[in-house]
Amino acid sequence: MRQLNGFLYPRTETGRATLIPNPPWQYSGDLLTVEYRTDPAKVKALLPEPLDLAPEDPGAVALIWADWQSCSSSREELLDPIRSQYKEAFVVVRCSFRGVTYSRCVYIWVDKDFAIGRGLHQGYPKKLGSMWQTRPHPFSQGAPQIGPGGVFGASLAAGDRRLAEVVLTLREESETNGFVNGHPMAHHRILPGIAGGQDAYAELISSGSSSFEAGQAWSGDVDLKLFESPTEELADLTVEEIIGGYYRQVGVIWDGGNTLARQTADGSWV
């Protein structure tokens, strides 16, 4: 029987056509983060079983733009940049499972198919979108610097409609890049039933970076706007209070996770 190869589909004899290579996956990027508070009931509505609200600051939300360059261990994608560069914007809340607080991505948009493929494996609910953010540069003629007074903008659109925009003016160095996205992730990996009904496979997993490096974090003043869309629900997470805005350059390696629970045939989680 012929062995087909490839980490994800399509699988072929050589494996060359697979959408994504085997982990570990390595990332270097610029993150623009806005944290705010919404009604905790709106966060709870996005948490499926067996998750519950985080016990502290349950309405805290992080909206993050990321301009990434990524690769596999071979680093060959870096020499073919269309395979390594992509942008994303994602929404993170916090949740609780068996007394432990986790971060959870509830919405995320990306602009490359390989990023969607990685999301399928990791449990991120990735969709296609259009993300743009101001890039820093050491020469100021056409770019801001990461430092006091640096002004950065970012926008998010999907389905031909703008969903969010932000302007961040850096003010001072920060000890952190925020707190909402600061825990291991708790995500569901699901395979819907072929005829609907209960999922054929559902697993709650925890994952995070196996290696992390970061430059100096900066905080600043934020002007954030969310917009309605007939096909998106981001605006339902209304901005009740801005917590802060942050900018940081990071390097991350992702290399798997752990199963927290699985759904059984009767719908319970064990």
Contacts of residue 230, defined as CB under 8 A and 6 or more positions apart, other chains included, come to 159, 161
- Average confidence score pLDDT of the chain: 97
67, 133 in Cβ contact below 8 A?
yes
Using left for φ > 0, alpha for ψ between -120 and 50, and beta otherwise, residue 238 falls in beta
- What average pLDDT does the segment 27-44 reach? 98
**What pLDDT does residue 113 have?**
98
Mean local confidence (pLDDT), 24-32: 98
Residues 6+ positions from 261 with CB-CB distance below 8 Å? 50, 97, 203, 204, 269, 270
Q: Which of 22, 124, 35 is nearest to 74 (CA)?
A: 22
pLDDT of residue 2: 83
At 152, which helix (H) or strand (E)? strand 151-158
pLDDT, mean of residues 25-42: 98
- Region 53-71: mean pLDDT is 98
Q: pLDDT value at position 119?
A: 97
- pLDDT higher than 90, residue 127: yes
162-174: average pLDDT: 98
Check whether 205 has a pLDDT greater than 80: yes
Please determine, for residue 1, whether its predicted confidence score (pLDDT) is greater than 90: no
DSSP-based three-state secondary structure for 266: coil
How sure is the predictor about 177, in pLDDT bands with cuts at 50, 70 and 90?
very high
Q: What would the pLDDT profile of 231-262 be if each residue is shown by its tens digit?
A: 999 999 999 999 999 999 999 999 999 999 99
pTM: 0.97
79/81 Cα distance (integer angstroms):
6
